[in-house]
Structure 1
């Protein structure tokens, strides 16, 4: 994807994230609190999702020593982190400024040294993102840029191309809307569908599509969900 296309895609994703956040957390979500008064901490969200991402790697020396990396889940976790990074950008900057910072960070993040790394070094790349998110400093443009660079470096070691990030984000955005429409916040939503997590079902539906369509994905999710016992 060219730089101009990446800028357009980031603009589109920022718009979708703003709409999702308003639906999920209320019109004043940029204040740092939900409509119910619960504190929002996007950087803590990034930290916790990064921890889940790292657990997709066989880093434990005392357990499952012959395991392999669950690379598909690593990519899904990265897309979840991208949701939170977009939200952090929107909370602190105008959409146009956020798009400019994020896209410039993407353009400057490519590093040939991040190819063919061992499991432990890959984990350390992800930990660098976690460490940056743990810094409770003011969210300046330079801080947001540095955090975003660590994110795209994580994407590089996970072999998640920008085109893939975009498509999975669009799909996850639809799934997140579906979850909210079906009781996710209230705790009534069923996340495991006949033994499969809804993320997995979502990917199976996408694989059957000739051309990706958010509307078609939502309809298919609804039909599948309605058939659960």
Structure 2
């Protein structure tokens, strides 16, 4: 199914490119130097293209699909997590964009696409975790931007955050460019604007993060963040390294044996983290 021309026009308008807004079709291929408008729209379109599909064919998520329900569930979890830190978190207007681009810097460190003097082999498993960390901030910013959780869950943001069902890492140069395009958009807009969300989805899919993978990692990391808060993260008493390994690594092991479709999945993850933390750190 082809992308909706009105959606393309909306994205162009949100970017405010004076050269291309009047003629949205020119935002894709005008034969000249790529401008910001064209780059963002291509990112939005490619993120919704089936793997291996020809140009012009796009995947349009069903609003009643499991993937949409997963995004709505992640919004619920994010709101709950933010309220653990600050009950009135929306009114505080946190700089989510700043946290996002700093995490993007950590992401680049795991990809190792620029450290030509060191180990050139990227760690995509850790890169995926950084993508999910950024997703936490994108969802927070989106909820804040819409003025609340329920409004955000009824908005276009849900569709904007759906990742492809299948994804595999792209070439290093392409991945590098996608991360930098995302960071540029974040620094310009300072919020989860349509173009920021489009570049995030493009970046995540090029790193190889599928919708199912993102949901699994998100739920796990969200529970870990709550676990950290409840065990002294804010006061500085929380121990992040357990027996020589970061808590993220222990989380990955715990997640491997849990069915996230179960209604008690979050409680099971929390219990697994608690048992392991007490056995290793408090021993």
Measured against the shorter chain, the TM-score band is: 0.7 to 0.9
Q: Which of the residues 245, 251, 273 maps onto 1:221?
A: 273
Q: 1:106 to 1:208 in 2, by over 3 A?
A: closer
CA distance in structure 1 between the partners assigned to 2:221 and 2:274 by the alignment: 14
Larger radius of gyration: 2
Q: Which of the residues 40, 54, 66 maps onto 2:108?
A: 54
Is there any run of 5+ residues in structure 2 with no aligned partner, and where? Answer: 1-60
Once the two structures are superposed, the pairs formed by residues 1-229 of structure 1 within 5 Å of their partners are: 3=62, 4-24=65-85, 26-32=86-92, 40-64=94-118, 66-93=119-146, 94-99=148-153, 100-106=155-161, 117-136=170-189, 144-209=193-258, 211-212=259-260, 213-227=265-279, 228=281, 229=283
CA distance in structure 2 between the partners assigned to 1:89 and 1:161 by the alignment: 20
Counterpart of 1:37 in structure 2 is none
Q: 1:115 to 1:31 in 2, by over 3 A?
A: same
- RMSD over equivalenced CA pairs, Å: 2.2
> Which aligned segments of 4 or more residues in structure 1 are displaced greater than 4 angstroms?
none
**Larger RCO (alpha carbons 8 Å, 6+ apart):** 1
CA distance in structure 2 between the partners assigned to 1:115 and 1:219 by the alignment: 32
Q: 1:115 to 1:161 in 2, by over 3 A?
A: closer
Per the normalisation by structure 2, the TM-score is 0.69
* 8 A contact 2:142–2:152 mirrored in 1: yes
CA distance in structure 1 between the partners assigned to 2:215 and 2:140 by the alignment: 16
**More helix as a share of residues:** 1
For 1:47-91, what per-residue CA distance to the aligned partner results, in whole angstroms no more than 9, with x for missing partners?
Answer: 100111011122235421x52111001100010001000100111
Shift of 1:5: 1.8
CA distance in structure 2 between the partners assigned to 1:67 and 1:120 by the alignment: 13
* 8 A contact 2:161–2:201 mirrored in 1: yes
Shift of 1:106: 4.0
